Chain A
Amino acid sequence: MERKEWPLWEVFIRSRNGLDHKHCGSVHAPDAGIALQSARDVYTRRQEGVSIWVVRADQIHASDPDAKPEMFDPADDKIYRHPTFYKLPDEVDHM
């Protein structure tokens, strides 16, 4: 008998107080409906979330790990991109 693996789905959960869905793991499932159910059963057993996204793992395009130097290193010495050089009015306590 031919054995086919179910596709992998990446699971993103929005927690009760969180604003964004955050990646929390993955499940194997034959389709999106079952993937959502499985994600609910595997990742929200302890009140971790109020909303779930699932995305087929093969639909995610990832940056190339070998391209890390040219992708990310140039940001290292551009401290002026952080908004830390502005004088804040006294009325603004925390920013």
Chain B
Amino acid sequence: MTQANQVKTEGASRFALSRAVPDAHPYSAHLEYVLRLADSALILGQRLSEWCGHAPVLEEELALANIALDLIGQSRLLLTHAGGVEGARRDEDQLAFLRAEREYRNVTLVELPNGDFGQTVLRNFLFAAFQRSLWEALLASRDAELAAIAEKSLKETRYHLRHSAEWVVRLGDGSAESHARMQSALDYLWPYTTELFTEDAVDQQVAAAALGIAWSSLEPAWRACVLPVLTQAKLAPPGRSAFASHGKLGRHSEHLGHLLAEMQHLQRAFPGARW
């Protein structure tokens, strides 16, 4: 069997498995945790790449592409690490391109469509604020690899936060049109932020082993970062709703499948293709 065929068969069998047990947790808590980080960075990186050639001005086109590449870089390190934790010899490419939709552990927030430029930078802002507190906490992880990735990523994320916050304030407190668009973007995105802080067994086990921090404990720091900027931008988050998204459990919105179809197309059509 050629290497390419082997990869293809592996991909196919995993797909069948994931269809058979959609909501099962076949992975260890440690692996689940790393995949949540890796997939969230990967999917947002892919989303932001869609702006390439479409951003409102050249300067912001480059800024969004820079951020997308930072996120894809983070996901590469994290996926490589996940492959090591899993111990099944899957490399970053196999994890990125040959898993089925339900095997992705990204939070739903990052797979939502970009919307307009305002919605894109607002999502970047909400997610970068989350990533920043996460990386800061993971500096103390007992997983040395994860701590090293956190240290490298923290500087990138701080810039993402700075870039997006500047735009959130300018657009939220800008013209009547830009304010209205930003408020409706916030109304749309905000309910998806609840998922960032819902705790589950993965969080508890990883926190107990000091490999990571329970995401729920990051909420106060996140709110302390996000709310003053929103206030400055004259934007008000909607009240709490009963809505709950479950992307990190592998149950995604209708948007992820379309994104993956485009992202995975090349590796699915030409398994093992390299350049």
Contacts and interface: CB of A to CB of B under 8 A. Distances in A.
B204 interface: no
A47 B63 CA distance: 15
B66 A38 contact: no
B59 A38 contact: yes
Interface residues of A, number: 13
A45 B66 contact: yes
A13 interface: no
B66 A37 contact: no
A38 B166 contact: no
Given A27-B59, A28-B57, A28-B59, A41 B66 contact: yes
Contact of A42 (B62, B167, B170): B62
B contact face: mostly helix, strand, loop, or mixed: helix
Query: Which bracket fits the contact residues of B?
Result: 10 to 19
B195 interface: no
Contacts of B170: 30-31, 34
Contacts, number: 30
B46 to A, nearest CB: 19
A29 B58 CA distance: 11
Contacts of A65: none
Interface in B165-220: 166-167, 170
B163 interface: yes
A28 B63 CA distance: 13
A33 interface: yes
B60 interface: yes
Interface of A: 6, 27-31, 33-34, 37-38, 41-42, 45
Interface of B: 57-60, 62-63, 66, 162-163, 166-167, 170
Given A29-B59, A34-B166, 8 more contacts: A27-B59, A28-B59, A30-B170, A34-B167, A34-B170, A38-B59, A38-B63, A41-B62
25 contacts: A6-B57, A27-B59, A28-B57, A28-B58, A29-B59, A30-B170, A31-B170, A33-B166, A34-B167, A37-B162, A37-B163, A37-B166, A38-B59, A38-B60, A38-B62, A38-B63, A41-B62, A41-B63, A41-B66, A41-B163, A42-B58, A42-B59, A42-B62, A45-B62, A45-B66
Nearest 6 Cβ contacts at the A-B interface: A38-B59, A41-B63, A41-B62, A27-B59, A42-B62, A41-B66
